[in-house]
Amino acid sequence: MAQVLLLFGGRSSEHEVSCASAVSVHDALIDSGHRVIPVGIDRDGSWYLADTSSRPFRAEGRSVQLSVPNGTLRVGSDEIEFDVAFPVLHGPYGEDGTVQGALETCGVAYAGCGVLGSALAMDKDLTKQIVASKGIATAPWLTVRRKEWDADPSVCLNEVSRALGYPVFVKPSAQGSSVGISRVSSDAELKEAVARAFRYDHKVVVEQAVTAREIEVGVLDGPISSVPGEVVVADGWYTYEAKYRDDSSSFEAPARLSNEASKRVRDLAEQI
């Protein structure tokens, strides 16, 4: 069985989510017979050998160093051997291609998407541009950059009203877990929401709200798509709280779709 370097925590606003996710991944790997080396990255970017008895995991313990470019992992004067890295990092500095690039530089095998796929998928604006360029439907959107907003917010407000209408969702372009996202229905709410989103990114996506079911499909290399699942939200939309802090959402797999609809969803996922 493999010796797996499990990376979690990280510098992003999704640090806590990653620490919780790492517990599930760790336990699944152990149950499958693998040896796991749990390394937590704190909010300042320092690496530590974590104690797995703390649940959720915490990015603290003995200091760890990953040497670039030879990929040697050291805890103090001890060299720790491993076969593959498994990043369970959420958000910037974790699932946006940065850690993946460091591992590539070291010649370290790792689980998950590569540098380009990670970087593009993390940026909602770039993802939507690529999807639209392939003729795949995506909700209409506008991209707002901080410099433009600071110069004259009224230009953005007018463009949203003209091109999108209300309601809209305002999102930091490169964040996950619904961090910094707001649903707004007026110019006044839009101004507050854009300011909030800019706390997490220099680029903001304003996206037309759509009334639809939320269907999720996992895609593995191949591409091979999973059976579709559905996020069911009791009220409103899929907020950070609904994802992690309360019982207002649930997940059904397989989703209640016709065979035709399920195939269509999977085909679209594989195209993307």
pLDDT at position 126 is 96
**Mean pLDDT by groups of 10 residues along the chain of 272 residues:** 96 93 97 97 96 94 94 93 96 93 96 94 96 95 95 92 95 90 94 94 96 93 94 85 82 96 96 90
* C-alpha torsion 31→37→43→47, nearest 10: 180
> Which residues face 63 on adjacent strands?
48
- 37 neighbors 49 (Cβ within 8 angstroms): yes
pLDDT at position 239 is 82
pLDDT at position 247 is 80
CATH 3.30.470.20 spans which residues of the chain? 214-271
- 120 neighbors 138 (Cβ within 8 angstroms): no
pLDDT at position 33 is 97
Look over the chain and give the mean of its residue pLDDT values, rounded to a whole number.
94
CATH 3.30.1490.20 spans which residues of the chain? 140-208
Q: Per CATH, which fold does 3-121 belong to?
A: Rossmann fold (3.40.50)
pLDDT at position 217 is 96
Region 140-208: CATH code: 3.30.1490.20
CATH 3.40.50.20 spans which residues of the chain? 3-121
The DSSP H or E segment spanning 197 is helix 187-197
CA 171/CA 193 separation, integer angstroms: 8
> DSSP of 210-248, one letter per residue?
----EEE--EETTTEEPPPEEEEESSS---HHHHHTSSS
CA 39/CA 58 separation, integer angstroms: 9
Question: Which CATH superfamily, name and number, covers 214-271?
Answer: ATP-grasp fold, B domain (3.30.470.20)
* C-alpha torsion 207→246→11→204, nearest 10: 10
pLDDT at position 240 is 81
pTM: 0.89
CA 228/CA 226 separation, integer angstroms: 6
